[in-house]
Amino acid sequence: MSQQNSPQKNFPKNQSLPGEHPKEKHDHETIRFPQGFLWGAATSAHQVEGNNTSNDWWEWEQKHQPFDLRSGQACDQYNRYESDFELIKSLNHNSHRLSVEWSRIEPLEGEFDQAEIDHYIKVLKKLKELNITVMLTLWHFTLPKWVADKGGWENGKTVEYFVRFVKKIVPEIADFVDLWVTLNEPGVYIYETYIDRAWPHAKKSWLGQVKTFLNLTSAHKKAYKYLHSLFPAGKPVGIANNILSFESYHKHSFKEQITVSLNDLLANHLFYFFTRGTHDFLGINYYFHIRFKGKRWTPQKSEIGGQIHDVSDLGWEIYPEGIFEVLTDFADDIPIYITECGIASTNDDRRNRFLISYLQEVARAIKAGVNVRGFFYWSLIDNFEWHLGFEPRFGLVEIDYKTQQRHIRPSALVYTDIIQNNGIPHSLLRFLGHTVQAEEVLEKREKEMEKKQEEISNFNNIEIANKS
């Protein structure tokens, strides 16, 4: 088309052509978060401390897991907490989520170890000296061996044992704790024990599941009541719950929609429903987006139009929009903390993208009116990922397990940039939009899993042979 005939010619300058979108003004502004927002990372005792020899996990690891899948020294944070916390400070985190290990404090029934209590006082005091807001979890998956031997959470008495432990430890450490999390992910605990059966006490038992569920609800309610009687005016109490984003593959499929609703009810809402009225905040751990297709769910390879979605090293789909969906779904009068959200990846570029894209969605939810008060990345350091051992790398800080050296990953500094700006500076958006490598990652993962499975069954066969 010649210049003369071009439709452009008859249009005044700067005016857009019919059908053409007017140029959007490019926005270079930082995506801001509310003032006082908590920025931190999360860990749990058994995953980082090392040598938690008195709990059920330790015992199970020695019996059922090959050497490289046992927690052992873990990250040796029991001895290295001071330098780890100084690292947190240097990264500008203003808060931290961690847990106390019940089996250290009460290694034998009714016998409390004052030296271990003093240890936790020192740990928490250190965080306070650094002016870090402390969110403390009282139970994060492990039980003292003696509690497990009596039936663990299936046994109604465990509620009493737990409350006795809470009543012992809380007054000792209360000065150094700002927010309490009574329980971590009751649903995941039940799923891994009774459905996936990959964790200690694994068994098939509907009754066991129901009892565990009810006892955990009762443990939370009692601990909540006690904590409230101590601090009527403050120190909010909640739980950290794994909340999944569910979707049906076909929007028109009634069956799939029903599956979505049922799973949403059971996995996301049931515990809150049974414990309603006993949450000062909602703690949301967000990791999963699951599409239901026909009878199947497709948690890993989510194929849409032949394209596989990006996944983490664990094959978990990367789906930032999901965090927006769960946040808006849970929006209530009660504040929300994202108590965990993170990616297992040895490719730190992916962690950068993950952080920025997920936090963009959190900001969008806040803009839409959701009262989100803080974000705890999982995890501060690489650590012991339960039955999967040390291979999944979730950390902002890399651990060399041979030397226990800490190496700050570039993504940790991207997170620091966000924290210092209390928002996502426009300059960081350059990290978004890289290629999707899902297929490659999934192939590698499948091979690794096969190898692991082989190792585990070889190990168990040797054990059985030795016993017989």
Q: Using CB under 6 A, list all residues that contact ligand BGC.
A: 44, 47, 184-185, 188, 242, 285, 340, 378, 385
Least distance (Å) from ligand BGC to the CB of residue 368?
26
Rounded to whole angstroms, the Cα distance separating 77 from 271 reads: 32
Closest approach, Cβ 289 to ligand BGC, in A, equals 15
Is residue 243 within 8 A of residue 285, CB to CB? The reply is yes
Size of the chain in residues = 468
324 vs 394 by CB, closer to ligand BGC: 394
Whichever of 49 and 340 has its CB closer to ligand BGC, that residue is: 340
Q: How far is CA 307 from CA 301, 438, 439, in A?
A: 10, 9, 10
Q: Report which secondary-structure segment, H or E, holds 224.
A: helix 206-230
- Shortest separation between residue 198's beta carbon and ligand BGC, angstroms: 12
Q: How many whole angstroms separate alpha carbon 317 and alpha carbon 286?
A: 12
Cα separation, 231 vs 40, whole angstroms: 24
Phi-psi label, residue 109: left if phi above 0, alpha if psi -120 to 50, beta otherwise: beta
* Shortest Cβ 363–ligand BGC spacing (Å): 23
For residue 277, count other CB atoms closer than 10 A to its CB: 6
For 244-311, the DSSP string reads -EEEESSTT-HHHHHHHHHHIIIIIIHHHHHTTT--SSEEEE---EEEEETTEEESS--EETTEEPPB
Q: How far is the CB of 372 from ligand BGC (least distance, A)?
A: 19
Strands (DSSP E) found in 128-252: 133-139, 179-184, 237-242, 245-248
Question: For residues 184 and 193, which CB has a smaller minimum distance to ligand BGC in the complex?
Answer: 184
Toward ligand BGC, which CB reaches closer, 77 or 184? 184
Which is closer to ligand BGC, CB of 185 or CB of 256? 185
Phi, psi of 183 (to 5 degrees): -135, 145
User: Least distance in Å: CB of 237 to ligand BGC?
Assistant: 18
Between residues 33 and 358, which has the closer beta carbon with respect to ligand BGC? 358
User: Would you state the structure tokens that stand for residue 393, as one six-digit string?
Assistant: 């790398």
Residue 390 or 431 with smaller CB distance to ligand BGC: 390
CA–CA gap between residue 162 and residue 221 (Å, rounded) = 12
Task: Give me the least distance between CB of 19 and ligand BGC, in Å please.
Answer: 48
133, 95 contact by CB (below 8 A): yes
**Cα–Cα dist 302/292, whole Å:** 10
Q: How far is CA 210 from CA 151, 187, 278, 358, in A?
A: 14, 11, 20, 34
In angstroms, what is the minimal distance from the CB of 342 to ligand BGC? 7
Rounded to a whole number of angstroms, the minimum distance from the CB of residue 449 to ligand BGC is 15
Nearer to ligand BGC, 44 or 302 (CB): 44
The rounded distance, in Å, linking the Cα atoms of 23 and 201 is: 61
Q: How far is the CB of 185 from ligand BGC (least distance, A)?
A: 5
Work out how close the CB of 140 gets to ligand BGC at its nearest, in angstroms, rounded to a whole number.
6
Nearer to ligand BGC, 125 or 269 (CB): 269
Judged by CB, which is closer to ligand BGC: 33, or 139?
139
Helix (H, G, I), strand (E, B) or coil at 122: helix
Token pair in block for residue 237: 């109490």
Q: Please, which residue, 44 or 215, has the CB nearer to ligand BGC?
A: 44
- Identify the sign of the CA torsion 221, 226, 231, 237: negative
